[in-house]
Structure 1
Amino acid sequence: MHDPSLQPARPNRHLGSWAWIAATAAACLLAFGYVGGWLDPGRLTPTRIINQFQADAGTFPGYRRNHAKGVCVTGYFQGSAQAQPYSSAQVFAPGRTPVVGRFALPGGNPYAPDSSVPIRSMALRFALANGQQWRTGMNSMPVFPVNTPQGFYAQLQAQQPDPKTGKPDPAKVAAFIAAHPETAAFRQWVKSAKPSASYATETYQGLDAFVFVGADGVRHPVRWRTVPEATDAGSDAIKAGDPDYLAADLAQRLSQGPLRWRLLVTLAEPGDPTNDATKAWPDDRRTIDAGTLVIEHTEPQESGPCRDINYDPLVLPAGIEASDDPLLPARSAAYATSYLRRTSEEAHLPGAARPPAEARP
């Protein structure tokens, strides 16, 4: 006779499901805690990096925490097909890809004079026909100052103004330089670097390495840069003492016709560092002309199409992948934190819109 008491107990499936959900939730909570730094307050997090940007430049609600001052631009990229053997990304095929970009200055102050820094930046979002996107940010300097997120954070700390003088503490800057010899190449360049009179005449370097993946699956470490067709120093729009001459110069140039840059991609050779943005690759490396960037229009960043774009360098199409450069995930995470802050601030402004520039602090 069947005796139910002798049967092994059946597991409670619902209880098991709830246990799995609870375990998953706990794992997620731990993950968020780790990313947020709650479990390790001393660990470097995106929040600490963005907070340091604010400590250095001040807080300007609704603006990016870095590259705060800029203008929107629109145009297209004309692929040359020369990069297709190395990358399957659709952007490199012959034809036009729409682009929304942004020219800007480094730093968190949207009212900084254009002459205050010798570096200009170009950010681009390529909207591929297959629905994928490629986003990239470049700077007009040959190398990055540091090669790790920790080094970058230390640099920001050293640059924080002393409340008594309004300038960085020379002793802290000297201590940072002594602790980071990898900054030597950048410091050598910046000694003779001067603020340019135009966004249009700058070469913009990608600095971080990426990986092109061809249709055959072969991987090619690369760096890229945009090289301008325009070479003249500046336009008549520049006026002595004008703190915003870059936007005026760009508008004047575009009123006369589109501006163009060639997208040049450098292929690494064995031994070329892909994880160190402070080291330039030798000049004799093979370079391919991937196509032409054409900028046709500019608009103010307050109302232009670039306003709500996060130029995350890890938004990549199939055929382009991140390298082992540790700066890339750090940039991506910090950009996301900055984006969430500024868009949240915009949402709380009257009418969910930014006030006119003259009404902002």
Structure 2
Amino acid sequence: MDQPPFTWRGTPVSRRALLAGAGAVAAFLAVDLGAVAYANNWMGGRFTRQAIIDRFQALSGVHPGFRRNHAKGVAVSGRFESTGAAAELTVATVLAAGVSPVVGRFSLGGGNPTVADTPGAVRGFGVAIGFPGRDQWRSAMINLPVFPVNSPEAFYDQLLASAPDPATGKPDPAAMAAFLAKYPASKAATAVIKQHPPTPGFADSPFGGLNTFHFVDDSGVRTPVRWMLVPRQQARPPAATGPNGLFDALIQQVKAGPVAWDLRVVVGTDQDPVDPTLPWPADRRAVTAGTLVLDTIETESPGNARDLNFDPLALPHGMEPSDDPILGARSAVYAESYRLRTGEPKSPSAVQVDEVAS
């Protein structure tokens, strides 16, 4: 695919300048855009952001310089080619017709940055679309059809239930059964998730925002939406040997040529649930807002996606959060994880792009 040049107010901007600028302002944006959520430490009862951070560290250990969840990852960049089809719903400039820069990060769930890839691990994709500032859109998506929990309390208890039994190294089935009995919404979500087994790799994974947001048009009309990225290609099969099979296959695929996803915005109604464990009706209208194209993949390092906080509440003008309590909880925990890792020494990523043969 030919790569269109990026422009800012009519002036061409190089990819190197884009990445340098993103790194330089990352700290400011992470604090500023997450300030409200971060200041509100109390997310409900005893389930503070620090309690959840502590639980992640108890499960995976403390790994200075890495995210407390989705610790293992690789940085990517490219562009978003907007069709302008979603401009009827929002004044967000990234969804007006045109091309915007993209910086992103693929990851695996969990707090261990050296964990071996497994096909069933939750896959994440954090993305920042547009230039840093009030018009940039950040989203943290995963490859599940629904979110497994709908409250900070349920999320914390899910982490407890997921703790490995010292005798087996695996979660205690009785603990997980008790968790699902306590939270019927999570039990129903688990059934939905099991109906959608993971694809072979990152490149053919769909990624969804899962939470409900609102798009706001130029008349102030607010429309509930959810969004997902739908892959345009099959994935290379994961490498048969080594601990980074999923990542190595992705690296080889991006080195061979761009990979792409269509951004599909699902248009809801006021009757559709905000609860992220509940899917919306299948007949809801979907708008293909554009195509996200990734053509560069890099080891995490200063100035690329390693230093970005993919706060789901970092929204541009024209997008607003719903009252889903998971959004505030995620924002608060992301901010605390960001604060911790930026003050810690950095260790090399387990995923070294230059070591993977094309």
User: TM-score, length-normalised on structure 2?
Assistant: 0.82
Asked if the contact 1:159/1:168 (under 8 Å) is kept, the reply is: yes
What is the aligned partner in structure 2 of residue 234 from structure 1? 236
Q: 2:188 aligns with which of 185, 189, 200?
A: 185
Percent identity at matched positions? 46
What is the aligned partner in structure 1 of residue 320 from structure 2? 321
* Structure 2 residue identity aligned to 1:65: R
In 2, Cα distance between the equivalents of 1:331 and 1:130?
A: 21
Q: Which has the larger radius of gyration?
A: 1
Count residues in correspondence: 316
* Structure 2 residue identity aligned to 1:294: V
What is the aligned partner in structure 1 of residue 21 from structure 2? none
In 2, Cα distance between the equivalents of 1:260 and 1:116?
A: 21
1:105 aligns with 2:108: yes
Deviations 1:179-228 (A, max 9, x none): 01111333224446555332110111110000000011111000000001
Q: Per the alignment, in what secondary structure is the counterpart of residue 83 of structure 1?
A: helix
Q: Call closer, same or farther: CA 1:356–1:334 in 2, change over 3 Å.
A: closer
In 1, Cα distance between the equivalents of 2:326 and 2:349?
A: 35
Q: 2:160 aligns with which of 146, 157, 162?
A: 157
Pairs within 5 Å for 1:118-137: 118-128=121-131, 132-137=135-140
Asked if the contact 2:64/2:347 (under 8 Å) is kept, the reply is: no
Asked if the contact 2:265/2:287 (under 8 Å) is kept, the reply is: yes
Higher relative contact order (CA 8 A, sep 6+): 2
| C-alpha deviation, 1:357, in angstroms | 4.9
Deviations 1:126-181 (A, max 9, x none): 12487532110111111111111111111011112234443333332221111011
Pairs within 5 Å for 1:266-281: 266-274=266-274, 276-281=275-280
Deviations 1:1-43 (A, max 9, x none): xxxxxxxxxxxxxxxxxxxxxxxxxxxxxx99x9456xx9962
Pairs within 5 Å for 1:65-144: 65-115=68-118, 117-128=120-131, 132-144=135-147
Q: Call closer, same or farther: CA 1:305–1:175 in 2, change over 3 Å.
A: same
What is the aligned partner in structure 2 of residue 354 from structure 1? 347
Asked if the contact 2:80/2:292 (under 8 Å) is kept, the reply is: yes
In 2, Cα distance between the equivalents of 1:268 and 1:46?
A: 30
In 2, Cα distance between the equivalents of 1:226 and 1:280?
A: 16
In 1, Cα distance between the equivalents of 2:167 and 2:52?
A: 23
* Structure 1 residue identity aligned to 2:344: E
- Higher alpha-carbon deviation: 108-117 or 255-264: 108-117
Q: 2:201 aligns with which of 192, 198, 202?
A: 198
In 2, Cα distance between the equivalents of 1:161 and 1:202?
A: 27
| C-alpha deviation, 1:239, in angstroms | 3.0
What is the aligned partner in structure 2 of residue 334 from structure 1? 333
* Structure 1 residue identity aligned to 2:305: C
In 1, Cα distance between the equivalents of 2:287 and 2:80?
A: 15
Q: Per the alignment, in what secondary structure is the counterpart of residue 248 of structure 2?
A: helix
User: TM-score, length-normalised on structure 1?
Assistant: 0.81
Q: Call closer, same or farther: CA 1:192–1:130 in 2, change over 3 Å.
A: closer
Contiguous gaps of at least 5 residues in structure 1: 1-30, 347-352
In 2, Cα distance between the equivalents of 1:194 and 1:242?
A: 23
Q: Call closer, same or farther: CA 1:250–1:278 in 2, change over 3 Å.
A: same
Question: Root-mean-square deviation (CA), in Å?
Answer: 2.5
* Structure 1 residue identity aligned to 2:298: E
- Higher alpha-carbon deviation: 124-133 or 109-118: 124-133
What is the aligned partner in structure 1 of residue 149 from structure 2? 146
Contiguous gaps of at least 5 residues in structure 2: 1-35, 352-358
Deviations 1:221-277 (A, max 9, x none): 0000000110x3424xx4323321222212221222211111000111231012x00
- Higher alpha-carbon deviation: 317-326 or 176-185: 176-185
In 1, Cα distance between the equivalents of 2:295 and 2:342?
A: 27
Q: Call closer, same or farther: CA 1:139–1:41 in 2, change over 3 Å.
A: closer
What is the aligned partner in structure 2 of residue 309 from structure 1? 308
- Higher alpha-carbon deviation: 42-51 or 284-293: 42-51
Asked if the contact 2:146/2:193 (under 8 Å) is kept, the reply is: no
